[in-house]
Amino acid sequence: MADLPPKKGDPEWEEWAEDILDSTEFDTDLGKRISKDALRIAEGELSKAEFHERYSDEMKAEFGVDERPTEPAPETDTAMPRVPGDRNQTRRNVLKAMGGAAAAVGLAGCVGASADDGSETGGNPEPDTQLGMAIDTERCIACLQCSEACKEENNTDIGVHWPYVFRYEDEHAGENREDFLTRHCQHCSEPSCTYVCPTQARYRRTEDGLVLTDYDTCVGCKYCQVACPYGVNYLGKDEPNEVVGNEFDGDRVGRDGRTVGGNPPKGVMGKCTFCVHRQDSDDEELQGTTACEQACPVDAIHFGDMKDRDSDPREHLREKEASNQYKLLDEVGNEPNIVYIGKRPSKDAEPVQGPVSYEQLNMRDGNYDYVGAPEDAAAESEEGDAA
Amino acid sequence: MSGVEIDPERVLKPLKNTSKQYYILLGLFTLALLLFLEAWVHQITYGVGAVTGIGDWGISGGVPWGLYIGGFVWWIGVAHGGIAISAAVRVINLDKYRPIARIAEVLTVLALGMAALNIVLSMGRPDRIFNTIVQWPFTVHHSPLAWDIAVISLYLVLTLTYMTLSLRSEISALRHRLPTWLAPLYALITLGYRPDEDEKIEQILWWLAVAILALVPLLSGGVVPWLFSLIAAQPGWYGAAAGAAMLTESITSALALVLIMTVVFRYAYGWHDMIEDGILRDLTIVLAFLALATIWFTMHDVLTGYYIAPVNIGALTAGMLELNFFWLAIGGLVVSVVLLFGMIGWPEYFFNTPLLVGVSALLAITILNKKVMFVVEGLMYPTQPPLTNLYPTGVYSPTLVEWILFLGTIMLAGFGFLVISKLIPMIELEKEERELLRPNAETDKTEVE
Ligand code: SF4
Ligand code: SF4
């Protein structure tokens, strides 16, 4: 922002910017409009979703790809090589090409100013539908209902939590406060888990962007687990699930004929499926829903098509556009499809027990030993409303 | 050309006479194999997740890859080093070391098999391994495991071709002296053999050896480290010197094992005059410097990880320094280097073959330890803040089943040596030496189908 000329709208500034834009091979008018609206985002007059919608096509036409530099620059310790086939390289080249225009009008700077909120990267353009979530951590009360409902729905092994609720303490404006973060598989648009899979058992379904595991072909090599930066994979162990203890009763076979629903068999990799059996069922009531979303008593989870402007998550994101919005580990480059609303946990976030423990709901918390200190939890005054 | 006198009669002895000790050894190894199979059936029945120390990283605080994958990297290193030693002997014409070349080749073939087996052991559903092969053409451009398969296969083909070619004229010359029940195998090896091909084959072998030498750094120091370093989620697996370090460790462990096997054969068949002390002493010098280089790379790793490293790498290095296994590895390396240099400097006091075998074993185990640590350590620490704090640090210790299965692959390799030593001469015989055994041209013709 430092090298941004003094005032937007100032005629001198406009001339200066136009000159620079004209010297590039890119469309001057488009650049001007984009930069003006980018400033409006910074002022809070325009949501990023709307901004994206407005310019997506034009950006694609002009630059070949719609990748605005809305993400914070990767830190050195995250700038690591990735599996071939990833498109970071081309993205970088495009960014370089855009550099002249974007930097000149301060676009990068303006958008960078609000970079910590939901970076609405267009991502992989293939699917028309991209199922995803908006999770409102400002509403979450860490009641663990989502975790429990998922267990009932998918009958996952006892220590396995497809949605896991982090309960942590973090510095908020100088004071240490408890906060919560529900973590699912992010159903990434650039999922590192699918690239490494030697059998194509882990795949991204093209029509709706779900990342699924074919339980019939997975060899259980655990490569996907190693390659996923989010730690959301669990190898099937066939352990009894004490919450329900009965069989998964959805349809295991998805609409593409592959066995992808419910808990994984022993020796096979599993993770959150975004309740694929519901999405693929004939029951319209179930389509477009997940068990965790329905169970949440405070409506913190919003599930739907992230590409549809009127979907539940998009609407919710618009509603809460004043709040901070972000994607977890977006600097890694997996292009996750869950957008969080609320404060991003800092690197100093420390796990705590939270108002409800997994054991209280008859589930086992793998993290519990680590979080430990039950006396800590007891001493906690249990004020769950972080919002 | 060299002072070594190879007595072909005695080289062939193991193929004809079998001692009581051999049968005892065979019995022991067979028992070990049965135990191995039992353990594997157990693992498959109850599931990898249930009977091994392997767990899910994330909230469960597990480590998804352990002894098996560490063991895989170790075996791959041994394989690459083994064939490199044999190829070097041929390319640089180190005739003096010819007696160890075939041992190194056999070690390579066995090690490749064991590397592959370790991957299979690590799988939750090994019965589906075929899927990996079916999907290979579609996954090879992005799946590291698919490259792996390609690398192992390429190497197996190269090594087997190399070995078969080098065996052709030998086998055909010795046919009448070899066990008759193996005739089909020998017929296959010598398929279409004509005595005038010898010269051509020598040339081909030389070029193959050159190709192998050129490929070793690329595969052992390239593809294998890439397998790990391309996983962005695990920064501990990435490092500019990773390739060079891996290559050094590979050749160190391979040479250590070649030394052990050489001493074993020398002892078992009384080949002291053919495999002289001088050979062992020279190899000791090479081993000493390789071990020193391994220490040097380790220091390098620690230093770069400790000082200006990004936060998570720094944490990783700090974590590594707290592991007992790390200090065990350092201890193993330092002790080996001291002893090896002692052997070089004051051979009259320190040089003896049992000690050399001991140090070689220590080095091989130390490098195994380093490989397992490399794999496990990288997975222990969730690396991206804020997950770094929110997830627990992983814990891993191999269970009995894992030990039995991994040590089983070592037993299996030993078993392989026992069997192969009954099939082919373990020391390559040169033309003049073979001719001593060839009765005459006519009988030879009638014997070749
Ligand atoms: S969160 Fe992990 S498992 Fe889920 S799609 Fe992304 S990389 Fe794959
Ligand atoms: S564990 Fe299964 S899904 Fe994961 S990479 Fe291996 S084969 Fe693919």
pLDDT tens profile B324-340: 778 888 889 999 999 99
> Which tokens sit at A279?
């999405």
pLDDT tens profile B179-234: 888 888 888 888 888 888 888 888 888 998 998 888 887 777 666 776 776 666 66
- Between strands A338-341 and A131-136, the pairing is parallel
Say which of B64, B149, B235 has its CB closest to residue A225. Answer: B64
pLDDT tens profile A180-213: 999 999 999 999 999 999 999 999 998 899 999 9
Q: Ligand 2 within 6 A of A201 CB?
A: yes
Is pLDDT of A94 > 80? no
Q: What is the 3-state secondary structure (H, E, C) of chain A?
A: CCCCCCCCCCHHHHHHHHHHHHHCCCCHHHHHHHHHHHHHHHHCCCCHHHHHHHHHHHHHHHHCCCCCCCCCCCCHHHCCCCCCCCCHHHHHHHHHHHHHHHHHCCHHHHHHHCCCCCCCCCCCCCCCCCEEEEEECCCCCCCCHHHHHHHHHHCCCCCCCCCEEEEEEEEECCEEEEEEEEECCCCCCCCHHHHHCCCCCEEECCCCCCEEECCCCCCCCCHHHHHCCCCCCEECCCCCCCCCCCCCCCCCECCCCCECCCCCCCCCEECCCCCHHHHCCCCCCCCCCCHHHHHCCCCCEEEEECCCCCCHHHHHHHHCCCCCEECCCHHHCCCCCEEEECCCCCCCCEECCCCCCCHHHCCCCCCHHHHCCHHHHHHCCCCCCCC
Residue A88 confidence (pLDDT): 40
DSSP 8-state symbol, B110: H
Helix (H, G, I), strand (E, B) or coil at B382: coil
Chain A, 89 to 128: residues with Cβ < 8 Å from chain B are none
Residue A71 confidence (pLDDT): 39
Measured CA to CA, the distance from residue A53 to residue A40 in angstroms comes to 15
Residue A180 confidence (pLDDT): 93
Measured CA to CA, the distance from residue A322 to residue B414 in angstroms comes to 68
Please report the DSSP string for B239-272 in residue order.
-TTHHHHHHHHHHHHHHHHHHHHHHHHHHHHT-T
CA-nearest residue to B310 within chain A is A77
The answer to whether the beta carbons of residues B258 and B82 sit under 8 Å apart is yes
Q: Ligand 1 within 6 A of A232 CB?
A: yes
Contacts of B188 by beta carbon, 8 Å cutoff, 6+ apart = none
Q: Which residues pair with A302 in a beta bridge?
A: A134
pLDDT tens profile A70-91: 434 333 333 333 443 333 433 3
Residue B441 confidence (pLDDT): 46
List chain A residues with CB under 8 Å of B234: 226
Which comes out higher in pLDDT, residue B433 or B102?
A: B102
Q: Mean pLDDT across the stretch B55-84?
A: 90
Q: Ligand 2 within 6 A of A197 CB?
A: yes
Q: Mean pLDDT across the stretch B79-87?
A: 87
The answer to whether the beta carbons of residues A332 and A78 sit under 8 Å apart is yes
- Between strands A164-172 and A131-136, the pairing is unpaired
Residue A74 confidence (pLDDT): 39
Record: contact A217-B229, CB cut-off 8 A: no
Is pLDDT of A41 > 80? no
Q: What is the ipTM of this complex?
A: 0.85
Please, is A153 exposed, middle or buried when counting C-beta atoms within 10 Å of its C-beta (0-12, 13-18, 19+)? buried
Question: Which residue is associated with the tokens 């050195």?
Answer: A76
C-alpha distance from B196 to closest chain A C-alpha (Å): 46
Is pLDDT of A68 > 50? no
Residue closest via CA to ligand 2's atom 8 equals A197
Measured CA to CA, the distance from residue B397 to residue B404 in angstroms comes to 14
**Within 10 A of B18 (CB to CB), how many other CB atoms are there?**
12
Record: contact A219-B128, CB cut-off 8 A: yes
pLDDT tens profile B384-425: 778 878 888 888 989 999 999 999 999 999 999 999 998 888
Phi-psi region of B376 (alpha: psi -120 to 50; beta: other; left: phi over 0): alpha
Residue of B312, B287, B281, B443 whose CA lies nearest to B377: B312
- Between strands A131-136 and A301-305, the pairing is antiparallel
Measured CA to CA, the distance from residue A301 to residue A185 in angstroms comes to 14
Residue B192 phi, psi (nearest 5): 70, 25
User: Is the CB of A268 inside 8 Å of chain B's CB atoms?
Assistant: yes
- Would the pTM count as exceeding 0.95? no
Q: Mean pLDDT across the stretch A28-36?
A: 73
pLDDT tens profile A230-264: 999 999 988 888 777 678 888 999 999 999 999 99
Is pLDDT of B235 > 80? no
C-alpha distance from B151 to closest chain A C-alpha (Å): 14
CA B120, chain centre distance (Å): 17
Contacts of A55 by beta carbon, 8 Å cutoff, 6+ apart = A30, A33, A34, A37, A66
Measured CA to CA, the distance from residue A40 to residue B406 in angstroms comes to 62
Q: Mean pLDDT across the stretch B357-361?
A: 93
Measured CA to CA, the distance from residue A32 to residue A9 in angstroms comes to 11
pLDDT tens profile A106-148: 333 333 333 333 333 333 446 789 999 999 999 999 999 999 9
pLDDT tens profile A258-310: 999 999 999 999 999 999 999 999 999 999 999 999 999 999 999 999 999 99
Residue of A384, A160, A142, A377 whose CA lies nearest to A272: A160
Q: What is the mean pLDDT of chain B?
A: 84
Residue B240 confidence (pLDDT): 64
pLDDT tens profile B309-319: 555 666 667 77
Record: contact A266-B128, CB cut-off 8 A: no
The answer to whether the beta carbons of residues A202 and B108 sit under 8 Å apart is no
Is pLDDT of B236 > 90? no
Amino acid at site A347 = K
Say which of A221, A269, A349 has its CB closest to residue B389. Answer: A349
